[in-house]
Amino acid sequence: MDWATIFENGLKAGIRPEAAYFALAAIGLNIHFGYTGLLNFGQAGFMAMGAYGLAIPVFAYGWPWWIGVFFGLLAAVLFAVLLGVPTLRLRADYLAIVTIAAAEIIRFIFRATDLREITGGSNGINGFSSGFFDLNPFSGTINIGPFDFTAREMWVMIVGWGLVLIGIGLTYLMIESPWGRVLKAVREDEDAARALGKNAYSMKMQSLIIGGLFGALAGMILALSQGSVQPSPTDLGPPKTFFAYAALILGGTGRLWGPVIGSIMFIALLAFTDNLLRQAQAADYIPEEIITGTEVGVIRFVLLGVGLMILMLYRPQGLFGDKREMAFDV
Amino acid sequence: MSDGGSQAAVSSDEKPASTPGSAKPDAILLVDGIRRSFGGLVAVDVDHLEFQRNRITALIGPNGAGKTTFFNLITGFDTPDAGTWTYDGRDMGSLPAHEVALNGMVRTFQLTKALSRLTVMENMKLGAQQQRGENLFRSFNHRGWKRQEAEIEARADALLERFKMDHMRDEFAGTLSGGQRKLLEMARALMTEPAIIMLDEPMAGVNPALTQSLLGHVKELRDEGRTVIFVEHDMDVVRDISDWVVVMAEGRIIAEGTHEEIGANTQVIDAYLGRHHDSTLTIDDDNPFLDQPDGSSSESAESQD
Ligand SMILES: Nc1ncnc2c1ncn2[C@@H]1O[C@H](COP(=O)(O)OP(=O)(O)O)[C@@H](O)[C@H]1O
Ligand SMILES: [Mg+2]
C-alpha cells in the first residue's frame, strides 16, 4: 500500500472546490442552525437556486454570467421568504418539514421536461461557465507543494475559498454584534427574546435569508467546479444537505470556523477512506467477496457515519465546540 | 428619589374602593371583558380591572386561578377569545409580544427563561432597548455601536452589582441555580427600563437570604416611578411590599383591597383553603399564609424548566 498517496489524496481533496462549496453551504447552515436554532433541511434547494440562477440566464437568454450571480442570489432570497412566511411563526419542526419538501419540489421543477428550453430538463445545463473561465488568470498545470491542479480547478478554488474567507469575515462581524446576540437569544428561547422587545420572527427571517445566500453561493461554486448543473439527487438533492450538516457537526455548530474546518475534514476523510479501501483491495488485504470495487463508495459513508457517532459520544460539541456549552441542559 | 417621598405620594391619593373592578386614580392599565378558555375550561374571565400607576399591585390566587394566563394575555403572548385592554390610553389588544415590551410593558416568566448558552452579561445586555447594533446592516460596523455597547455594559454591571450577581457576570446562564435565574431574569427585564414590570412569582426558589434584598429592589422600582404587578404566593411578601392586592380564583377577580382588607375577607379564605382546611387566614409574621402548598408546587414547576 502506498500510504503517501493515500494521505496526499486525502489532503488534496480537503482543499479542492468540493470542500469549498461544502464550507459555504455549512456556513449558511451554521447561521441557520448553529446561531438561530432553525432546522433548515433544504439547503440543497438554496444551492439549486444559486446553481440554476447562475446557469439559466446564460443558457436560455445568452446574458453575461455575472447577471446569473445576481439572479442566483435573488432567487435564494425569494426562496427564503417563500419558506419563511408560512413556517417561521409556527413550531420549529414545521420549517424542517417544509424546507426538505420544498427543496425536492424545486429540483423536480428544474428537471421537468416542459421546462427543457430554460432549465435543460433532466439533462441539466452545460456550457454556461465560459464567461467565468475567461477571467481565469491561470493556465497549464499549477502545483502547490505536492499537489497538481488544473487551471480551471485552481480558478474555482481561489474564488471558492475566497468566498469562504469573506463569508467567515462577514459572519464574524454579524455574530459578534448586538444583532448576533439577539439571534442567539432567539435560538435559546424565542419567548424570552420577545419579552425583551426583540422581533423573533424578523430575526428568523433575516437568518433564513442570510444562510440561504451562502447556500446559493455554494451552489454556484458547485456548478462552476463541475461546469454543469444537474438536477440529480447527488448534486442537488437531500444528501447534499445532510452532508453539509455532517460537516458542520464535525467542526462544531455555533462556532465561527466550525463549518470550514468540518467541511475540509469531511471531504478529506471521505477521500482518505476511499483511497485506503481501494488500495487495500488492490493489495488483496480485503478479499473481493467481502467488498467489491463498486461498494467502496458506499462503505466509506458507513465508516464516516460510525466515525460521526463516536464523535457525538465523546465530543458532542464537535471538534472545535466549547465543552462548557454542553455542560448543562439547554 | 427617596423612599419617604414616594410614601407621601401614596398617602396623598385617595384610596380606591375595595370592590372587584374598582376605579383607580391615575390608572395605567385598564382591562375590559378579557376572556380565555382552553377547551371547556375558562382560564380567565375578567370583567373589569384597573391597575394604578406607580404602585405595587400583588396578584394572588390559588394555583390554576389564571394568573399566568392573564399575564400572557395582556403581554401579547396569548390571544384572548374576547376583551380589550389599554395601557396609558393606548389600545394594546392587537400588539405582538415584542411590541408590548417596546411600549414599556415588560414581564418575566413563572418558569424562568434564562438564555442558557449566553453569559450572564450577554443576557443583561440583551435587555437594553434601541440598540444600534441590533440592526443587521449597522451590525457590521462595530465602531458604530461600540460606544453604546459600553454604556449598556456599564448599566448592566451596576444592576448585577445591585442584584449581587456581579461575580457571575461571565458565567453561562445555564450554570445558574433556579433562584439565580429568577434574579437574572428580573435584572434583565430592568435593563429594558420598563414603565410597567410584571413579575410572575419572582421570589419562587430564591434563597431566603436574598428575598429581603429582592423586596428592596421591587420597592425601589416603584420609587423610581415604575408600576409593578407581581404574582406571589407568600403572603409575608405580599404584605411587606404591595400597595394593593387583587385576588383571582377560577379566572375571575373575586376581591381587591389593601392586604389588611384581603386578609380579613372570608371569600378569599374560601377560595384559598376550600372546605378541607380549618385554619384561619391571618396575615402576620408567624403564620405565613399558604406558602406551603403553593410554594411546593411552584418548586416542582421550576424543576421542569
Ligand atoms: N396552554 C394551555 N392549555 C390548556 N390549559 C391551560 C393552558 N394554560 C393554562 N391552562 C389552564 O388554565 C388554568 C389557569 O392556569 P394558570 O394561568 O397557569 O394559573 P396560575 O398561574 O394562576 O396558577 C389552569 O387550569 C391551567 O391548567
Ligand atoms: Mg402561574
Angstrom distance (rounded) from CA B255 to CA B263: 11
Give the residue from A176, A308, A203 showing the smallest Cα distance to A249.
Answer: A308
* Greatest Cα-to-Cα distance within chain A, rounded to the nearest angstrom: 66
Question: DSSP code of A256?
Answer: S
- Summarize pLDDT for A217-235 with one digit per residue, the tens: 999 999 999 999 999 999 9
Tell me the average pLDDT across A244-257. Answer: 94
Band of residue B298 on the pLDDT scale cut at 50, 70, 90: very low
Say if residues B74 and B29 touch (Cβ distance below 8 Å): yes
Minimum-distance CB partner of B113 among A187, A191, A198: A191
Grid coordinates in use for A135? 477571467
d(CA A165, CA B239): 61
- Overall average pLDDT of the A114-122 stretch: 90
Asked if residue A265 lies in contact with residue A32, where contact means CB atoms within 8 angstroms, the answer is no
Task: Return the pLDDT at A199.
Answer: 97
Beta bridge partners of A226: none
| Cell numbers found for residue A206 | 433575516
Higher model confidence: residue B217 or residue A321?
B217
pLDDT at B293 over 60: no
Minimal CA–CA distance to A186: which of A170, A163, A202, A171? A202
Query: Which of B252, B249, B293, B241 is closest to B269 using CA atoms?
Result: B249
Give Cβ neighbours of residue A166 (< 8 Å, ≥ 6 apart).
none
Residues A3-39: tens digit of each pLDDT: 888 888 888 999 999 999 999 999 999 999 999 999 9
- pLDDT per residue over B11-61, tens digit each? 446 788 888 888 888 899 999 999 999 998 999 999 999 999 999 999 999
**CA-atom Rg of chain A in angstroms:** 20
Whether pLDDT at A93 is above 50:
yes
Contacts with B108 from chain A: Cβ below 8 Å = 195
With an 8 Å Cβ cutoff, the interface of chain A facing chain B consists of 170, 173-174, 176-182, 184-185, 187-189, 191-200, 206, 254, 324-325, 327-330
> Under 8 Å CB-to-CB from A323, ≥6 apart: which residues?
A317
pLDDT digits (tens, 9 = 90+) for A50-69: 999 999 999 999 999 999 99
Ligand 1 nearest atom to the CA of residue B61, by list position: 22
Q: Which of A173, A191, A197 comes nearest B142 by C-beta?
A: A173
Q: Which ligand is nearest to the CA of B111?
A: 2
Contacts (Cβ under 8 Å, ≥6 apart) of A203: A36, A182, A183, A186, A193
Question: Cα B206 to chain center, whole Å?
Answer: 15
Q: Residue A323 pLDDT more than 90?
A: no
Three-state DSSP state, B19:
coil
pLDDT of residue A329: 53
Nearest to A79 by CA among A210, A221, A267: A210
Higher pLDDT, B252 or B214: B252
How far is residue A129's CA from residue B68's CA, in Å, rounded to a whole number?
61
Report pLDDT digits (tens) over B228-249: 999 988 888 888 899 999 999 9
C-alpha grid cell, residue A265: 475534514
| H/E segment holding residue B154 | helix B142-162
B110 in reach of chain A (CB within 8 A) = no
CB contact under 8 A, B118 and A198: no
Q: Which residues contact B202 (CB under 8 A, 6 or more apart)?
A: B108, B182, B186, B214, B218, B230, B232
Q: Which of A69-73, A253-257, B71-75, B291-295 is least confident?
A: B291-295
Q: What does the alpha-carbon distance between residue B82 and residue B72 come to, in Å, rounded to a whole number?
A: 14
Show the ligand 1 pocket: residues with CB < 6 angstroms: B 38, 41, 43, 61, 63-69
Is residue B110 within 8 Å of B204, Cβ to Cβ? yes
| CB pair distance less than 8 Å for A194 and B97 | yes
- For residues A5, A6, A8, A14, the Cα torsion angle rounded to the nearest 10 degrees is 150
Find the CB nearest A195 among B101, B118, B135. Answer: B101
Environment class of residue B143 by beta-carbon count within 10 Å: exposed (0-12), middle (13-18) or buried (19+)? Answer: exposed
Question: Residue A107 has what DSSP assignment?
Answer: H
Report pLDDT digits (tens) over A268-286. 999 998 888 888 888 888 8
User: Length of chain A in residues, anyone?
Assistant: 330
Q: Check whether B4 has a pLDDT greater than 50.
A: no
Other CB atoms within 10 A of residue A114 CB? 9
pTM to 2 decimal places: 0.89
Amino acid at A270: L
Q: Binning pLDDT at 50, 70 and 90, where does residue A327 land?
A: low
Domain boundaries, chain B: 8-113+196-304, 115-175
Q: Of how many residues is chain B composed?
A: 305
Nearest C-alpha neighbor of B258 from the set B272, B274, B273, B242: B242
- Looking up cell 411552584 gives B298
Query: Which position has the grid cell 376605579?
Result: B23
pLDDT of residue A302 exceeding 80: yes
- Residue B19 falls in which region: left (phi positive, over 0), alpha (psi -120 to 50) or beta: beta
The CATH classification number of B8-113+196-304 equals 3.40.50.300
Ligand 1 atom at shortest distance from the alpha carbon of B70: 17
Ligand 1 pocket test: pick from B35, B38, B81 the residue with the most ligand atoms within 8 Å of its Cβ: B38
Most confident range (mean pLDDT) of A259-268, B12-21, B261-270 is A259-268
| Domain residue ranges of chain A, discontinuous segments joined by + | 3-237
User: Nearest Cα to A159, choosing from A143, A135, A181, A142?
Assistant: A135
As a whole number, mean pLDDT of residues B255-271 equals 82
Q: Which of A46, A21, A25, A220 is nearest to A132 (CA)?
A: A220
The sign one gets for the Cα dihedral A163, A167, A168, A173 is: positive
d(CA A300, CA A274): 6
DSSP string for residues in B176-223:
S-HHHHHHHHHHHHHTT--SEEEEESTTTT--HHHHHHHHHHHHHHHH
Mean pLDDT over A142-162 rounds to 93
- Please report the pLDDT score of residue A285 as a whole number: 84
Q: Write down the pLDDT at residue B13.
A: 63
What are residue A142's DSSP bridge partners? A149
Largest separation between any pair of C-alpha atoms in chain B: 67
CA angle B100, B171, A323 (to 5 degrees): 110
Q: Quote the pLDDT of residue B261.
A: 86
Q: Nearest 5°: phi and psi at B52?
A: -85, 140
